[in-house]
Amino acid sequence: MTPTRPEMIPVIQEVWRSRGAPGEAGHFIISEGFAKSNSYKARWWRKGEKERIETFRPEDDERSAQPAIKAFDGQFVRTVDQNPDKTIGSVRSVEGAGWNAVNRTHPFSFTHYYQNTPYSEIVERGAGFTATDVDVGGKSGTRVFVHHPREDYRTRFVLLFDSNSQLVERRLITKLGRDKDFRVYEIHHFSDYAVIDNPTGDPVRMPMRVKQRSVCGEHPPGTFAEYWTEDVNVTRLVLNGDIPDKTFDLSIPAKAETYDGVGGHGWLAPGEQPGYLLPEDAKAKTRWLTWVGVALGALVILAGAVYARKRAGRAEATQV
């Protein structure tokens, strides 16, 4: 994560001044200290709906440091954060953890999923779909606009594809709080595509560099008030490797202060862990040296869904 760039501060201040809430600007000016404390390196695994992410501070030696861990075993979301003075654990339901309501940062969220909804499904079923031929880097590309298909989601997407049908930019548009109209909240840029070997099927092209820009408005129109940027570098990506199910069973140490969001007991003192908080076979900690492993399964590629809907739209337009 990077702090707010100095030239963005007056833009941010003007955005909030124009909304009649100048005091809000300070909440969108990110310091170097905050940016540093929220930067990390990670290892990530996914198999079907199960997921595990381990995060380290940038300066940590992964061979010896204790990571913060979050794991979803298909039923509960468990976390463990071990610090020198205290170990904190938690167990929450899918709803309690907001598991399907957060756009987590991992390789699948770049080009395949938005809050666990496949982008291919969004493109196939979303209202307001348009596909326009545009110039992208001096070559022919495609700009797609589409609404999230779920009525309770007030999110719209602008997807920009290059001449190779690779997603190079995505904008998330929504309306929150005191917004008078829909506006851009995030802009994602994708680059350094690499061909990743897939032992069970065709190779998959994935972006290895992603820039995620968070913005709080525009001033003047067309100039985004960018308050922070997350630069993601994928160092290793393995598809359809052998990932044992126990990878996603996270055992919370007995010494941990644990939040029970399943039984509704709130914070439990160290040693107070009802049996349902613990996975049955998570008795031993396993260290995985691969940066990331992914089980793709049956996955519709986004560009294919865009092509299919463009083709269907053209067919409908020619009917008499």
Per-residue pLDDT band for 123 (boundaries 50, 70, 90) equals very high
pLDDT band at 301 (very low <50, low <70, confident <90, very high): low
Inform me whether the pLDDT recorded for 316 exceeds 50.
Answer: no
pLDDT at site 194: 94
Q: Does residue 26 come out as left (phi exceeding 0), alpha (psi in the -120 to 50 range) or beta?
A: alpha
- 221 or 169, which is more confident? 169
Q: 144-153, 188-197, 224-233, 290-299: which has the minimum mean pLDDT?
A: 290-299
Give tens-digit pLDDT for 226-282. 999 999 999 999 988 889 999 999 989 888 999 999 888 899 988 887 666 666 533
Task: Give the separation between CA 164 and CA 269, rounded to whole angstroms.
Answer: 55
For residues 303 and 163, give the distance between their C-alpha atoms in angstroms, rounded to a whole number.
11
Write the pLDDT tens digit of every residue in 63-74: 888 999 999 999
What radius of gyration, in Å, describes the C-alpha atoms of the chain? 22
DSSP secondary structure letter of residue 205: E
Measure the CA–CA gap between 262 and 139, rounded to whole angstroms. 52
**Predicted pLDDT of residue 94:** 93
